[in-house]
Structure 1
Amino acid sequence: MTVSASYYDGKTSRRYLVTLTISGGVAQVRGEVERDCPIAGLHVSERLNRAARKVSFPDGAYLEIIDGAAFSALLRGIGQRDSLVVRLQQSWFHALTACAVLVAVVVLSYLYLLPLAAQGITAMLPVSVDRQVGQDTLDFLDTRVLSPSQLDAHRARAITARFRALTTPLPDAPDYEIVFRKSRIGPNAFALPSGQIVVTDEIVQLLDDDDALMGVLAHELGHVHRRHLMRRLIQSSAIAAMATALFGDVSAVLANIPTVLLDLKYSRDIEREADDYAIAMFKANGLPRQKLALVFEKLGEMDKDGPAARYLSSHPANEERIAHILGSR
């Protein structure tokens, strides 16, 4: 069988019209150029829809096949088949299946593999890293959204003293510091990796209940003790780093770490861990868990666009969660 082709010597752009035949395991080129080559020394490009097939010679010369159907028949005639990968690429069913598998792998990696990896990396990081990140974040927040507390100094000391008198549910409790601030973001409390638990004047005034406030602090201490924020920061930074490596300057990730920390949303599992920590702390100290549930009940009663919206955005309150607090043994 003879196949029409264009021959290029690999050195110039000149095109030579030739034909290709195969006989006795040898490719024979005839026409404006004549040469023979064992088929074992040739490289044939993969079959792609509407794309010309290319046959490359060891010295860089190559053929562009003009009659693709005849060339395919020629290959079949000498027992040559497309590779498994090529056959799969030509199948819509297999292509769609591969896409579905890829999506499943990405989703499962995000939901399970990335959190496990972040937990392992966090465990290997020295605590000094947490402290530096936390202090830098607080400095950033103090210049943007926080201002000095206007809470009565005696009241602030009393809250701190009462919480420090409580027994923590796990040994080796981390060093922590309760920091009071007035906030532009309304009622809020959050923990920084450095062990600083930021409590806004607004949430103290909103709750107006020291037992409930102990619940807020216990929950945030749970985040500190479990190093949740560093785990979430590593996860978010890994995703952002991959995205910026593909689409932009990776230095933007480092520059925006404080903002990322402020806007992090905890996963359901992490929130459950912090809730369980607070529940255990209340139990160890004989405090009523109803006061812990009261925190979320009060915030949940407020309009979602009201002053508690930001706290709720990172600490989702719902009936299931309150039921878990009240129903835990």
Structure 2
Amino acid sequence: MITSVLVANRGEIACRIARTCRELGIRTVAVHSDADANALHARTADTAVRLPGAAPADTYLRGDLIVKAALAAGADAVHPGYGFLSENAGFARAVRDAGLVWIGPPPEAIEAMASKTRAKELMGIEPLREVTEADLPVLVKAAAGGGGRGMRVVRRLADLDGELAAARAEAASAFGDGEVFTEPYVEGGRHVEVQVLADTHGTVWALGTRDCSLQRRHQKVIEEAPAPGLPARLTEELHALAVRAARAVSYVGAGTVEFLVAGGRAHFLEMNTRLQVEHPVTEAVFGVDLVQAQLRIASGETLADLGL
């Protein structure tokens, strides 16, 4: 049973996780940089551990320091929140190797879904190897990225080489990985995601859809749940594909599978192997505390035990 959780994050998500921990009677440990010594998440936790320095690279991104902090504070589990090290398989392994409970998916699942090309292969989707006029328009995407970086829409074959080079350079700069791939560009598609929960006993549930089509510079502006106007057949297909993605990597905990929907078809995009910023939208619709679900799943409970 989990009795003390170190939250390897700051700000809103650290406060959010701590709130649920308090409701469950679980002690919380915060970590903070020098700049965040008086931040709300540090002031309201049961224990706060200083990470010397101000820059995230010296503090919140130092997995070794965070593991040491957890052990020194007597925590028995680590919750990564979102951002920072939440999708870092090496950090997840370090937490486990230290004898702590990792409140997230297995490191192998994080690694498998970290690369968009690998994720698509797991879903049986092959990238375009050679682009022809008939394939246009196509989308060039960074394999390891997100947020629109390393992404280019190509409508003329003559522009392809230049856009590939530009995308590789941007991806290498932003993510330290210059791998890119091409896929058909879905014109006018809706961006729909499916929230999933999976326990350690092989059960996976899809908790509805969220529409996040309204975006600015590839960043989501509005989330709406359930995604409006989807035919029941298509909703069922999205749920089935999301569960299939989770099962393909033996997923555990909360995650999100993202799709483009156009012409009555669902096109798999990627899987986010963490709690998302947008998770409260699903919580409000389903009346479920996803952080509590994560904690209970990490403690070995089944989805049936959650009473959802």
- Both proteins in one fold, TM over 0.5: no
TM-score (norm 1): 0.23
Structure with more relative contact order (C-alpha pairs < 8 Å, separation 6 or more): 2
Larger helix proportion, structure 1 or 2? 1
